[in-house]
């Protein structure tokens, strides 16, 4: 684990480190980096001394550096062995690299905030194993590829934000069953809105945001009507392609990109 200026003998008194009964349980790198004007880099965990650590035996529940606008580096694959983790928050940083598929082992993770960085590559389908994940924020990155169908297995996810990326392909036929907010606007997603996107299938859903994608054509759905609320803003180009009956989610936005 990486904490600037921390030593094994004085780790619990180090800035940004929280201990319980002498054992590290949380790390706030933003506090630790304050001594360096906020500048820092996540080190390569495949070299000494990081490759000698027993990550599986650690009891850390939280690692965060929210708003660390001068933090660089990439996400360590080794963190995927830390079964105790419940929160990883590195939003508003300048991290690069890909999303580690090896993080699929984080079965207790509830909050994963990686928005507003410079991540590239595709979305790991293996993350569908994170059954306790509640919030997944990946917006404002440079991610590509399609939305993995495996993510339908994220049974605890309520908020899934992946807007302002470079995602393509079609929408997944099935969303996480307890989804409340699903936002993939400002990508390059095409095709039809799946017939399965109804409140019968997703009773907790209150917003599905698809605007500024080429997702214009909408397959006919025999049940329900479009709720003409301000949040539904089909452009004139799409207006004739939206049938009089459609999905029953209260707030679906489907405007085209300019």
Tell me the torsion sign for CA atoms 128, 159, 45, 63: negative
* Contact (Cβ atoms closer than 8 angstroms) between residue 137 and residue 115: yes
Distance (Å, whole) CA 197 – CA 214: 18
The pLDDT profile of the chain, 258 residues, written as one tens digit per residue, is 455 444 455 678 888 889 988 889 999 998 888 766 668 899 888 888 888 999 999 999 999 999 999 999 999 999 999 999 999 999 999 999 999 999 999 999 999 999 999 999 999 999 999 999 999 999 999 999 999 999 999 999 999 999 999 999 988 999 999 999 999 989 988 877 777 777 788 888 888 888 887 754 443 333 333 332 223 333 334 433 444 444 455 556 655 443
Domains along the chain?
8-167 (3.80.10.10)
Q: Which residues contact 83 (CB under 8 A, 6 or more apart)?
A: 56, 105, 106, 107, 108
Question: Which residues lie closer than 8 Å to 119 by C-beta, 6 or more apart?
Answer: 95, 96, 97, 98, 99, 138, 141, 142, 143
pTM: 0.84
């Amino acid at each position: 684990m990486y904490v600037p200026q921390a030593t094994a003998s004085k780790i619990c008194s180090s800035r940004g480190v929280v201990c319980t009964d002498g054992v590290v349980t949380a790390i706030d790198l933003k506090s630790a980096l304050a001594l360096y004007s906020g500048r820092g880099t996540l080190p390569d965990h495949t070299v000494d001394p990081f490759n000698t650590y027993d990550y599986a035996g650690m009891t850390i529940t939280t690692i965060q550096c929210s708003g660390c606008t001068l933090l660089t580096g990439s996400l360590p694959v080794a963190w995927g062995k830390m079964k105790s983790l419940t929160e990883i928050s590195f939003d508003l940083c300048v991290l690069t690299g890909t999303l580690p598929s090896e993080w699929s082992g984080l079965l207790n993770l509830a909050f994963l905030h990686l928005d507003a960085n410079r991540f590239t590559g595709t979305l790991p389908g293996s993350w569908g194993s994170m059954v306790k994940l509640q919030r997944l924020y990946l917006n404002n990155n440079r991610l590509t590829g399609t939305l993995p169908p495996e993510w339908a297995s994220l049974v605890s996810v309520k908020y899934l934000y992946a807007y302002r990326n470079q995602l393509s392909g079609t929408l997944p036929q099935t969303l996480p069953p307890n989804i409340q907010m699903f936002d993939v606007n400002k990508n390059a997603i095409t095709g039809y809105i799946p017939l399965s996107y109804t409140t019968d299938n997703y009773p907790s859903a209150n917003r599905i945001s698809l605007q500024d994608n080429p997702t214009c054509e909408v397959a006919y759905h025999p049940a329900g009507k479009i709720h003409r609320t301000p949040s539904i803003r089909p452009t004139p180009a799409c207006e004739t392609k939206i049938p009089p009956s459609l999905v029953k989610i209260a707030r679906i936005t489907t405007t085209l990109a300019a």
